[in-house]
Amino acid sequence: MASLVIIAAIVIIVARQLTAHGQQALPRVVVTPAPEAKAVAPVADDDAVPSAGPSLVIDAEPEALVLVDGKKIGNTPQVVPHAPGKVVVELRAEGYRPHHEVLTLGATDHKMTIKLEHLKGAKGVAAPAAHVEPAGAPKEAKEPKEAIAAKPAKEPAADEESGEAAPSAGGGGLGFLSITTDPWARVWIDGKDTGRSTPIVKMSVPAGKHHLELKTRTSSVAADVVVGKGRVASITKTID
């Protein structure tokens, strides 16, 4: 009986030791929740190339200076990017009549090739031939200025270029104006718009002193001229 009690006590002691040892050997597991994923905002690409619009391809014969909406671009040929809509193109070359054109661009490229007109071939621009007297011909005696001023001149009945009847000069008589500019310009006389552009050939005006203003889209030039009765006064200007 005593032996059974001892054995039972030994079993209990061993069981307790095993239980205590098992509790120390088991690791403690700590569960940590995973971090939440943060949404990443898209980063704008600063180097992104914007979509190109339509281009205007400009060429001319001969080589000419290109102006687009009044701004100098350079000599032909030129490729000018431009948004759809209206655009004003001007071509200039020394010795040639300027070309002025208003275009309406769409969503596709537009190409223009212009052959400029030489000023020598333009109607009404060629200079009159010089009068040469034959050798040995007797020279006419020049009349004094007083006699020339007193001699009446035939008054023109109409503007030779437009065919319209010349306005009354209020007793002062009429003369003519011939005006050539590079590039073409709108003509104002004595502060009034004539509604006409250069070149102008023999436009009838009242004889006397007049103030001219020759205006382009971007610049203008002024000049004073005295028109004699029945005479033609010629003006040639280059407008920068």
What is residue 15's predicted lDDT score, i.e. its pLDDT?
75
Instruction: Give the DSSP H/E element, type plus range, for residue 6.
Output: helix 2-25
Q: Are residues 117 and 163 in the same domain?
A: no
pLDDT in tens, 171-186: 479 999 999 999 999 9
Instruction: For the chain, give the mean pLDDT.
Output: 74
Reported confidence tier of residue 125, pLDDT bands at 50, 70, 90 = very low
Reported confidence tier of residue 10, pLDDT bands at 50, 70, 90 = confident
CATH number of 88's domain: 2.60.40.1120
Residue 181 lies in a domain: yes
What is residue 162's predicted lDDT score, i.e. its pLDDT?
46
**Residue where a domain terminates, one of 69, 100, 121:** 121
The residue with greater pLDDT, 20 or 43, is 20
CATH number of 231's domain: 2.60.40
Reported confidence tier of residue 166, pLDDT bands at 50, 70, 90 = very low
The burial class, CB within 10 Å (0-12 / 13-18 / 19+), for 165 is exposed
Q: Are 197 and 204 in contact (CB under 8 A)?
A: no
Q: Are residues 116 and 190 in the same domain?
A: no
Does the structure show a pLDDT above 90 at 190?
yes
Residue 165 lies in a domain: yes
What is the count of structural domains for the chain?
2
Q: What is the pTM assigned to this prediction?
A: 0.32
Does the structure show a pLDDT above 70 at 74?
yes
E strand residue ranges, the chain: 55-61, 65-68, 71-75, 78-81, 85-92, 96-97, 99-105, 110-115, 117-118, 174-182, 186-189, 192-197, 200-206, 208-215, 220-227, 232-238
Residue 4 lies in a domain: no
Residue 231 lies in a domain: yes
Residue 211 lies in a domain: yes
Residue 93 lies in a domain: yes
Q: Which domain holds residue 206?
A: 156-238
